[in-house]
Chains A and B, each alone.
Chain A
Amino acid sequence: MIEILQYEFMQRAFIAGIMVAVTCPLIGIFIVLKRLSMIGDTLSHASLAGIAAGMLWGFYPFWGALAFSVTGAIAIEKLRKTFSKYEEISNSIILSTGIGLAVVMIGLAKGFNTDLMGYLFGSIAAVNSQDIYIMSALSLVIILSVIVLYKKLFYIAFDEEGAQISGISVDFLNIYLTILTALTVVVSMRIVGVFMVSSMLVIPVAAAIQAGTGFIKTMILSVVFALISVVLGLILSYYLDIAPGGTIVLLSVLILLIVIFTKGIKKEK
Chain B
Amino acid sequence: MLIELVNVSKTFSDGHRALSNINIKIDNGEFVFLVGPSGAGKSTLIKLLLKELEADQGTILINDKDVTRMKRKDIPFLRRSIGVVFQDFRLLHEKTVYENVAFAMEVVEAPAKDIRRQVPIVLSLVGLSKKSNLYPSQLSGGEQQRVSLARAMVNGPSILIADEPTGNLDPDTSWEIMRNLSEINHRGTTILMATHAKEIVDAMKKRVIAIEECTIARDDKKGGYGI
Do A171 and B72 form a contact, CB below 8 Å, given A162-B90, A165-B84?
yes
Do residues A155 and B103 form an inter-chain contact, with CB atoms below 8 A? Answer: yes
Do residues B107 and A166 form an inter-chain contact, with CB atoms below 8 A? Answer: yes
**Of B63-71, B74-82, B113-121, B186-194, which stretch is located at the interface?**
B74-82
> Shortest CB–CB separation between residue A148 and chain B, in angstroms?
10
Q: Quick one: which of B52, B94, B108 contacts A168, CB cutoff 8 A?
A: B108
In the bound assembly, the distance between CA atoms of A162 and B103 in angstroms comes to: 12
Do residues B76 and A167 form an inter-chain contact, with CB atoms below 8 A? Answer: yes
Do residues A159 and B50 form an inter-chain contact, with CB atoms below 8 A? Answer: no
Do residues B80 and A166 form an inter-chain contact, with CB atoms below 8 A? Answer: yes
A-B contact pairs, 17 of them (CB 8 A): A151-B103, A155-B107, A159-B92, A161-B52, A162-B90, A165-B50, A165-B52, A165-B79, A165-B84, A166-B104, A166-B108, A167-B79, A167-B80, A167-B107, A167-B108, A168-B107, A169-B76
> Shortest CB–CB separation between residue B54 and chain A, in angstroms?
13
With a cutoff of 8 Å between Cβ atoms, the chain B residues found around residue A83 in the complex are none
Q: Quick one: which of A161, A163, A171, A215 contacts B107, CB cutoff 8 A?
A: A163
In the bound assembly, the distance between CA atoms of A98 and B41 in angstroms comes to: 43
In the bound assembly, the distance between CA atoms of A168 and B50 in angstroms comes to: 13
Do residues B107 and A151 form an inter-chain contact, with CB atoms below 8 A? Answer: yes
With a cutoff of 8 Å between Cβ atoms, the chain A residues found around residue B104 in the complex are 166
Judged by a CB distance under 8 angstroms, whether B106 is at the interface is: yes
Do residues A158 and B79 form an inter-chain contact, with CB atoms below 8 A? Answer: no
What is the chain A residue whose CB lies nearest that of B152?
A166
In the bound assembly, the distance between CA atoms of A155 and B95 in angstroms comes to: 12
In the bound assembly, the distance between CA atoms of A107 and B92 in angstroms comes to: 51
Interface size on B, residues (CB 8 A): 20
The interface residues of chain A, by DSSP majority, are classed as: helix
Judged by a CB distance under 8 angstroms, whether A210 is at the interface is: no
Judged by a CB distance under 8 angstroms, whether A264 is at the interface is: no
In the bound assembly, the distance between CA atoms of A164 and B72 in angstroms comes to: 12
In the bound assembly, the distance between CA atoms of A161 and B73 in angstroms comes to: 17
In the bound assembly, the distance between CA atoms of A152 and B103 in angstroms comes to: 10
B residues whose Cβ falls under 8 Å from a Cβ of A: 50, 52, 72-73, 76-80, 82, 84, 90, 92, 94, 103-104, 106-108, 155
Do residues B94 and A215 form an inter-chain contact, with CB atoms below 8 A? Answer: yes
With a cutoff of 8 Å between Cβ atoms, the chain A residues found around residue B155 in the complex are 167
A residues whose Cβ falls under 8 Å from a Cβ of B: 151-152, 155, 158-159, 161-169, 171, 213-215
With a cutoff of 8 Å between Cβ atoms, the chain A residues found around residue B94 in the complex are 213-215
In the bound assembly, the distance between CA atoms of A206 and B72 in angstroms comes to: 35
Q: A165-B50, A213-B94 are known contacts; what are 9 more A-B pairs with Cβ within 8 Å?
A: A151-B106, A155-B92, A155-B107, A161-B52, A162-B90, A165-B82, A166-B79, A169-B73, A215-B94
In the bound assembly, the distance between CA atoms of A215 and B94 in angstroms comes to: 8
Q: Which of A162, A165, A171 has the most CB of B within 10 A?
A: A165
Do residues A158 and B107 form an inter-chain contact, with CB atoms below 8 A? Answer: no
What is the chain A residue whose CB lies nearest that of B46?
A165
With a cutoff of 8 Å between Cβ atoms, the chain B residues found around residue A167 in the complex are 76-80, 107-108, 155
With a cutoff of 8 Å between Cβ atoms, the chain B residues found around residue A159 in the complex are 90, 92
What is the chain A residue whose CB lies nearest that of B77?
A167
With a cutoff of 8 Å between Cβ atoms, the chain A residues found around residue B72 in the complex are 171
With a cutoff of 8 Å between Cβ atoms, the chain B residues found around residue A166 in the complex are 79-80, 84, 104, 107-108
> Shortest CB–CB separation between residue B9 and chain A, in angstroms?
21
Do residues A164 and B79 form an inter-chain contact, with CB atoms below 8 A? Answer: yes
Do residues A164 and B52 form an inter-chain contact, with CB atoms below 8 A? Answer: yes
